[in-house]
Amino acid sequence: MTIRCETRDDGANLVIAVIGELRLTDTVPLRERLLKCLAEQPGALLVDLTGLHVEQAPSLAVFTAVLRQAARWPGTPVLLYGPPAQTRRLLLAGAFRRLPLYDDRAGAIAHLHDERRSRPSVIDQLLPVSGSARHARDVATEACLRWDLPHLVAPASLIATELVANVIDHVHTMMTLHLTLRPRYLHVAVRDGSPVPPDPPGKIRPETAGGRGLLLVGELAHSWGWLPSKDGKVVWASLRR
Does the domain spanning 3-115 belong to CATH 3.40.50.720?
Answer: no
The alpha-carbon radius of gyration of the chain (Å, integer) is 19
Per-residue tens of pLDDT for the chain, all 241 residues? 689 999 999 888 999 999 999 999 999 999 999 999 999 999 899 999 999 999 889 999 999 999 999 999 998 999 999 999 999 999 998 889 899 999 999 999 988 876 555 578 999 999 999 899 999 999 999 999 999 999 999 999 999 999 999 999 999 999 999 999 998 999 999 999 999 998 765 454 444 444 467 889 999 999 999 999 989 999 999 999 9
CA atoms within 13 A on the CB side of 204: 23
CA atoms within 13 A on the CB side of 240: 2
Q: Where are the domains of the chain?
A: 3-115, 121-240
pTM for the complete prediction? 0.86
- 228: burial class by Cβ within 10 Å (0-12, 13-18, 19+)? middle
Q: What backbone phi and psi angles, to 5 degrees, belong to 171?
A: -110, -45
The beta strands (E) that lie in 24-111 are given as: 45-48, 52-54, 78-81, 101-102
Residues in the chain: 241
pLDDT recorded at residue 212? 64
Strand partners, 86: none
pLDDT recorded at residue 113? 72
Of 185, 181, 184, 195, nearest in space to 226 by CA: 195
CB 136 within 8 A of CB 164: yes
The CATH class of 121-240 is alpha beta
